[in-house]
């Protein structure tokens, strides 16, 4: 029987690429989404995956969503916390809701989903949790105190949970993508995008499939000795020490 993988925000952009890669790796994929029914249904039909709609920032919704997935497919073996939003503003102009929304969706969601699956993984003695952070969680970004804080928080969350879970056969790791060719990045003004690309040593944006390949490795049996790690996939734009 194939293992079950849950990918949050798994029907568009990087999340869709992750869902597709894990499906090719032999996982049964449950892709979470929150808003766009048409896109989610199109993704499900195109890839042959299961989609489940719930708000990852809502604790009770996550408990119910995980139960629905497990009732339909079975216990979750791999969790990829990929869902995220931006609400950019300079701090002196940032509203409370802009802060709260990003922290809730980009950081609190990892707690909500990880807690919902961790006991099942501990009982089985096997599990993979992969948290999708960002280059801006490592280096910071002007106009993104909320986003940078949430994504940096994912790194600390992953390290602590990795220590708690290692002896139970569960690995917890973080991937920090750089600027990737997705719908979100394509909305950046052309001149700004040109400046971003010029700062990337490999001379281009990343591909969603390249981030998904990192997830595939960390979700595999071959990555059993990798836990608490932070993988920077940013074309050399930021090289942490």
Catalytic residues: 147
Q: Are the C-beta atoms of 136 and 148 separated by less than 8 Å?
A: yes
CB atoms within 10 A of CB 236: 12
Rounded distance between C-alpha atoms, residue 37 and residue 57, angstroms: 18
> What phi, psi does 92 have (nearest 5°)?
-70, -10
Measured CA to CA, the distance from residue 233 to residue 214 in angstroms comes to 8
User: Nearest to residue 62, comparing CAs of 112, 108, 128?
Assistant: 112
Q: Phi, psi (5° rounding) for residue 80? A: -115, 110
- DSSP letter string, 13-46: HHHHHHHHHHHHTT-EEEEEESS-HHHHHHHHHH
CA separation for the pair 211, 180 (Å, rounded): 9
């Amino acid at each position: 029987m194939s293992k079950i993988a849950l990918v949050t925000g798994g029907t568009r952009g990087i999340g869709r690429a992750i869902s597709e890669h894990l499906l090719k790796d032999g996982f049964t994929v449950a892709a979470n989404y929150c808003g766009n029914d048409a896109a989610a249904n199109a993704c499900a039909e195109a890839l042959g995956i299961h989609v489940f709609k719930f708000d990852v920032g809502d604790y009770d919704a996550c408990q119910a969503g995980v139960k629905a997935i497990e009732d339909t497919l079975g216990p979750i073996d791999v969790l990829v916390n990929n869902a995220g939003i931006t609400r950019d503003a300079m701090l002196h102009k940032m509203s409370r809701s802009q802060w709260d929304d990003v922290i809730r969706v980009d950081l609190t969601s990892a707690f909500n989903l990880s807690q919902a699956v961790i006991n099942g993984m501990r009982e089985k003695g096997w599990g993979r949790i992969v948290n999708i952070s960002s280059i801006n969680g490592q280096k910071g970004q002007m106009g993104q105190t909320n986003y940078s804080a949430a994504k940096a928080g994912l790194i600390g969350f992953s390290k602590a949970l990795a220590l708690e879970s290692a002896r139970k056969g569960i690995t917890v790791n973080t991937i920090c993508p750089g600027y990737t060719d997705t719908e979100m990045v394509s909305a950046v003004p052309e001149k700004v995008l040109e400046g971003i690309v010029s700062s990337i040593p490999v001379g281009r944006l990343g591909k969603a499939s390249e981030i998904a390949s990192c997830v595939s490795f960390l979700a595999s049996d071959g990555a059993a000795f990798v836990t608490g790690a932070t993988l920077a996939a940013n074309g050399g734009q930021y090289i942490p020490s």
